[in-house]
Structure 1
Amino acid sequence: MYQVLIADDEAIERNALKMMLENNIASIEVTGEAENGVQLLQMLKKNRYDIAVVDIEMPGLSGLEVLQMAQKELENTRVIIFTAYSNFDYAQMSLRYHAFDYLLKPTRRDKLMATIERCVEDIEAARRKSVNSERLKKIIGQIRPLMDEELLNSFCTGSGDFARLKVYLNALEISTETGYIVTFRIRDRRKGQMSPEDSLDQLALKKSVAKKLSTGLSELVEHSLAQVQRDKITAFIPVERPGAEYQNRVDSINLVHIILDRIQLPETVEVIAGIGSVQESLEQMHLSYRESISALHDTKTNMAIRHYNDLFDRKEQDWHILQKEQKQLLAAIRDEDMEKQKKMIDQIFFVLHKKPPEECSSHILEMMVQILHSVDPYFSENQDHRFHISRLCRECMNIGDTDSLKRWLTEYCQNLSREMNVGSHTGIVIEQARKYIDDNYQEDLSLNDVSRHCNVSI
């Protein structure tokens, strides 16, 4: 049923309208009647109505004055102005206060009924939209961790299906692609060896601090994204209206200050934050991530909050220190040359030996993402591709020390090389078989004939 309120200072008008509505529309029920503006305002504040039919000229307060004073209460109510006055200013004010329609007395019965029915249709459409919106919110709530992970992995690597990622941003109600990356690292203040019990206590403290950081981010920054990996948190901070570079830098540092000030840190841990510069597209967000990592691991400062642009001249930064090694490693993977792969991996870690483990991981991850894109054509369409980029991100960024990273990279490249060459060989065999069948389609061919021609067993 749809609850209707009628406001008119003439009792006969109210009764006639009530009978007309309830006798002609089964879903309508008149549950409120007001004979003056004050009474109308009180009823709107006390009860909820789907439709309100309001006269303008009433004692105490006019209908338009009530609409102005009760805009919040009327947010989900369709208001029909039903009046004997054809004043143009009244019509304009009615539109200003979001009246659904403006009807002049006396109006034809069919026109009034049509207006009420349009109200009902509009209410139903709004309810369906609300239900769908709630259903969508529930679905998003269930898959939110996966969406956040894919978005942040792409921000870290500079790769991914950016068309799909933009759909994710829209579903998460993030209206901008502009933003920056902040990377937090939770570190031990204690020096020296800890007992196993102390290590467990310290791990629990770090986990508690990480949770507080994530909560603080979500409370202070609407639509921020955060991902916790061991004792590190990577966060995307959207920026609706970026300013000049200096102002962006000041704003981001102030925000991180506020977040850290709200956390009561235990004496045995500290939080360091590296901030990247504002980028205007998803495709460029990996630059902000790389900057945040460089700032986080800068050894020339003891500041807890480090903005990349305060520490480095980006033009002097070498972003492609492994270009030559990457090309040679890719060639070794294609050739399935395991010895050359090991040699190139040794060379890569020699180049990176002065960099902290996390920055090494970042360089390795960027390099391997580019290699994956280069070898993708070698894999057959139906082949089980175990080297998906999201898995690459999870494995690479969760490795905490350089030796483990080197072992992982060696095994990963060897497996990739074997898998790639299996896919390549399979594609060659299929192409040979297809050509042989095309050339000899008039012959009575068997599977054995085709397999012998392609030098494979069945």
Structure 2
Amino acid sequence: MYKLLIVDDEKVVIDGLVSAVDWEDYQVEIVGTALNGNAAYQLIEETEPDIVLADIRMPGLNGLDLIQKVKNILPDTVFIIISGYTEFDYAKRAIELEAVDYLTKPIEFDEIIQTVEKAINKYEKIQAEKNNNDKIQKYQVELEEKYILDSMLGRQLDSQKLAAEFKKCTVFVAGLKSLKWLTNLTSNGQDFIEHLKIPFVKRGYRAFIYLMEEYLVVVYANNQQNQESNAAMIEFSNILQHEVKDIPIIGISNTYGGLSNINKSYKEAIEAFHIGLYLNQSFTSYTDLEKMDQNVGTDMIEIIDHYFQKQDFDIYAITQIINDLLHYCTERMLTPVKSKYLCFKLINNVFEYVQKEFDLNVESILEEKYVIYKQLNQLRSLEEIREWLISKISKLLDYLNDNQMSYKDKLIFDVKDYLKDNYCKIISLDDVADLFHISPAYLSSVFSKKVGVTMFEYIINMRINKSKELLRTTNYKISEICDQVGYENQRYFNQVFKKHVGTTPGKYRSKHLIKQEVNTTLN
């Protein structure tokens, strides 16, 4: 259970927050409440809560000062600030003090839940980072390894002995697409690390290997400046592949003189690794990233626009532009931000084209654009983006295929639509044919084949159905109904009605009114 403390100078607010949520459902235990900052601080010392929900303006210590004071004794405690004020200065200072959120009163139920869940996530992240730091401590047995690790993580230390050995230093990071691959190692961790050092040791390199949470970090002295370092890296990759049964992704830093730049090397290797993971490429050098095109892909934007503007453009052949786009991103080694921008540009062009050419709202077929954008940004590699793009486009094309009309189908659809709005008027075959710019004979033939009845039979059925509805549901005179459904002669209307229904309009009305009275009585 996560321990929560609530602080506010209004008791009604505290009572509301305590009772508004079934906190146990969210694995939260309220360990105390306080009406002012001083009392809150004393409670915090006693209960050591994981999360504190505190008002910003209170007697004694205000909410912001309370955060600052508590951070000195419980740095892991996560704060949520609540206030009746929305001043920018308060929010800014709350952010500076690393409050997880700044809520303004009145607070909605969902807002409370979402913010507490966010606070829990932050607390868990802090604990995970602490656990990671605990794992790092195991390397203290080997002082040299600890020195290298500390230097890599940015801690300024001094070791003349190691500095002499590491006249030139390279860092690389190795991992897989799966974030949990390190937990599936079959070998003992330390034995595995020693085995991975062999390619470097046998070539005379000093090497240190660290098991981090998501990847392996390798630091080695690259003093000789020859091809052996590449051979060592390839052999390392082969050993790792044999162990994990998958091709590893490796990101390589630039080579720098001495250990003073090891932290920089580490950051470069991490960035190169993530680009390699994104591009699905085994080896990615930071040197290559520095040489990559710094433009956002303006030439590719022009290619996409030109593709959609071609007179012979075929939406069903769009797989080609997807392949061209992703090949471009890989070849130019574009960052995820840049390549996702181009992919969203492609999707946006598809939206606009389908809207223009098919008069369809693509958002009603797929999702709204902001949802599409959010989904795209969650993808971790170009391979995932390819599958996602093809899936979206396939869904759209399937919809177009399933709802595609022939010319004749469209003609009959439009004629029916016209008759629906005008059946109560005097309609002739010649008039309708002229309206749709076709011959009366062609219209008569196509309509009969597609609908199964002649156009006039179709009109009569519409008129009869409407007259039956009016007879059942209104008090209009039969002569008025006759006019409303398009008949000028009541006697002729009676004949047509009796022929199709089997009884006169008057008898039909009487019969159905009696049934309605029976139904009303039964109810």
Normalised by the shorter chain, which TM-score bucket?
0.3 to 0.5
Normalising by structure 1, what TM-score?
0.34
Normalising by structure 2, what TM-score?
0.30
Which protein has the larger Cα radius of gyration, Structure 1 or Structure 2?
Answer: 2
